[in-house]
Chains A and B, each alone.
Chain A
Amino acid sequence: MQFENVTCPHCGLLCDDLSVNVTDLTVKLADSAHPCAKFFENASIESNTIPTPQISGKSVSEDRALEKAAEILRDAKQPLINGLITDIQTCRDAMAITEKLGGVIDHANGESIRNNGAVMQRIGKVKTTLSEVRNRADCIVIFGSKLSGKFPRLFERILLPKKTLGNKNVDNKKIYILDISTDGTFRIESGENNISRIFFDFPLLESIVYRLQEIIYKSAKNISTIDENTQCLLDLYETISNSQYTTLIWNSSEFNQDSAEQTIQAITESIKYLMQKIRCVGLPLGSSKGEMTANQVATWQTGVPLPVAFMTGTPVHDPARNDGMKMLANNEADCLLWIANYHSEDEPPNTNIPNIVLGHPNMNANNATVFIPCGVPGVDHRGLACRADNVATLPLPKLRNSHLPNANELLRKLKELV
């Protein structure tokens, strides 16, 4: 059977124009050369054998697995609920059980979205969304060159669409991809579609951000030494100043993590400074594994973003203390409930503590104390997911009848048992 307008939850763009063929439990994109084809094929279940729940690698009934999981959770003093690579309903139910357990909940990539959130918390933001960029941006500046690896269809769907609502400037927009050179030489590579890749002779990617900010704040005449790097950024500033709608795009994980927050703040301050006269906006693109989905749910249900700790009886956000991955590394959790049912590779980190995995049916979770294979949102059951720009929420369809349990229902049963 072929399904149209299927949403792909495997990156934060949530493209929803896919045609998917389903035969029994095999899932394939109609276009096998599609950049997202391999993500979908990952959901196929070989030889139509539905994987069963396991305790320490041995097959058991779902009830037995849930009982064992509840026992582990009941015994834990500091349970950690992590992963959260899943749809909204599962995140909602994960919040509910974490609250009941008095545990900590975080997303596997929680750290990657905290930098943007912290800047929002401290100074606010000037932001835009995907359709707005697609139709209005006439100048795009991207910090770092790894973005299209993480968001395979960014150029096709957002930056270089066939048609726009804008004028000629939008249809012939200029795109600058800024990065540092590895060989100590400044160079510009001009390509098709007005795309310029500029490699600066700077030690760090963030140096570009800070030099550009300096230029924006001081304006050209006050910059003393002008080398190739600076001249190029002066020219870029000139282009931005003469554009209708400049969009600055970044992925915080490309910045040095120790100072990413300050770097994002510098970008935001630059945008706000420019806004006094012209339109300029930011588009942070980080979410590639449902981080936004999990964070939005946590924020509306508790008033605070991830991580959320319930030890005191009320929800507390203290990322320094409750970062999920750091808690695991520092042995600060005594039990892990790992939820990840979008992709088989999102396995739980290695850990010595008892761990319960509600995971993708093709996941290798032999080391888990309890493993319950779950249906895949958008394949085995309906769901909802938030896009990287934090505005659009898209529906995920049900494409096949696998009878795999829905992770959110498992969490509800588990909540009754703990």
Chain B
Amino acid sequence: MPDAPPPPSSRSLPRGAADVDIVVIGGGVNGVGVARDATMRGLKVALFERNDLAFGASGNSSGMIHGGPRYLTYDPAVTETSCRDSGHIQAIAPHLLFRIPFLMPVEKSARAKVMLTLMDGFFQAYDEFQPLKRGKPHARLTADELHALEPGLRGDLEGGMSFDEWGIDGARLCTANALDARERGAKIHVGTTIESIERKPDSGEVVAVRWRDLRNGRTGRMTTTAIVNATGAWAPITAALGGLEAKRARLRPGKGIHIAYDRRLTNYAIGATTIDGRQIFVEPWQNMTVVGTTDDDFYGDLDDCTANSEEVRYLVQGIARVFPAIRSARAIHTWAGVRPTLYAYGKMEDALSREHEVVDHAAHGAPGLYSMIGGKLASYRLFAEEMTDTLATQFRLGSPCSTHKSSLPGGDEVVDPFALAQRLEIDAVAARRLVYRHGSRAALIEERIRERPREAAVVCPCEPVLEAEVRHAVAEEMARSVDDVARRTRLGLGACGGMRCAARCGQIVVEERGLPPRFAREMAARFLVRRARTRAVALGPEQARQEALAIASARAELGLLDANLDSQTESEPR
């Protein structure tokens, strides 16, 4: 067979032969992870993200950096690796992680005692690895102890367990990786979709990508030596852009939703079971409470995926059985993401391949094209390392991975939020949030405020977010709209749903980007309507009243009839 591609391992890719060595498609955690790793190893990288960094699963997950307890039963080595990597993420971005103590209540039943004993043994095994991620050992609790810890627990309980996990803000994790990659020389293009992948007609090798900036319609072509398809649940569609059959990047798209409530109802994450026996949870998140999550096949529009009221009801009913206080809280927003779950599980002896897989499409006649399928937030760094190792071999690079050794932006130094609050004369909560999101980089925002004290103004009073941080998000973190700012700063995601800050934020974005002022209103209205859609599915008595007020306010101040509020693409000047 003369035109068969050489086996993947024997090929060697030249560096510097095209505009870039690698084009990464997708700005989720895996895409930015690879962009960072490959750039650190000396490759020239361009990343294209069609929507915004963390727009997909990475910004809409449960945000747990767990240590893989579920592999314990068949391969403890995998749990060990997972825990160690959770420890690595902690080491490079300590500011972004927060402890989530879990309570797992077990309801009285014939099997309850046996269950508890099994769980006890299971978590005892997990305790072995907890030190790798600075986790605390588990505890077996009686029903009374559970009630003492969380008086809101209801139901006839036999007892339960506590164990320890870590949480992270997925959008911040993506932003940090993207910033680091960019600072090391990668080019990051947000709001820019890849429309096609060009390959040589004879050898099938990748040559270039064609891109389009979705907000102003500009298009272009970029030549490249290799392409990494890191588009999560979009992966089959992306593979098809290069003329491959979608099944070459096959996965199961599993939609999951979360509901956020207006206040902190508990200090523990609490596990609960749904009517069909699935594990779900309620967890505290800063000043709010979050409930998650579902897992349903999803074959709809990945760029417009929102929770629906049936999903919300399913979760609320499950949680309310053990934690009825959830019914009294006000749902302030919901979010939905689609997991890129591996379609066919990998070989049993390699348990991690159950989670993710690097596909070298040379095997499908497309040398230079790779797909990252599956993965977890918690294992993104490992997955990126595996992907980059493959690339390094192809580019004949000797340099090993060092992404676990150097800090992500902001992770190099611990900052005292109270001292910051005092220096800037800002609210302590605002300072705490700044430090959480930016770590030592909070200094950049502090600098802005020193130069222009008026930027200490609070734009979003609910969260709270300062004007300087909004400007920083646009000027330094690639935010281009109110939605993007919200993803990076949580602006508008609090109790008022953006009513008090969307317009102001729109004005700042427009000003920082040098756009005509009329775009401010459109951006704000678009944000409000999108936020509202995510709340509408979880309306209860008080929410509905608040919602009606929000509509009246938005109508009075902004007007809601802009022709293209519903359309995905915005029309900005070139």
A binds B: no
- Residues in A lying within 8 Å of B, measured CB to CB: none
- Residues in B lying within 8 Å of A, measured CB to CB: none
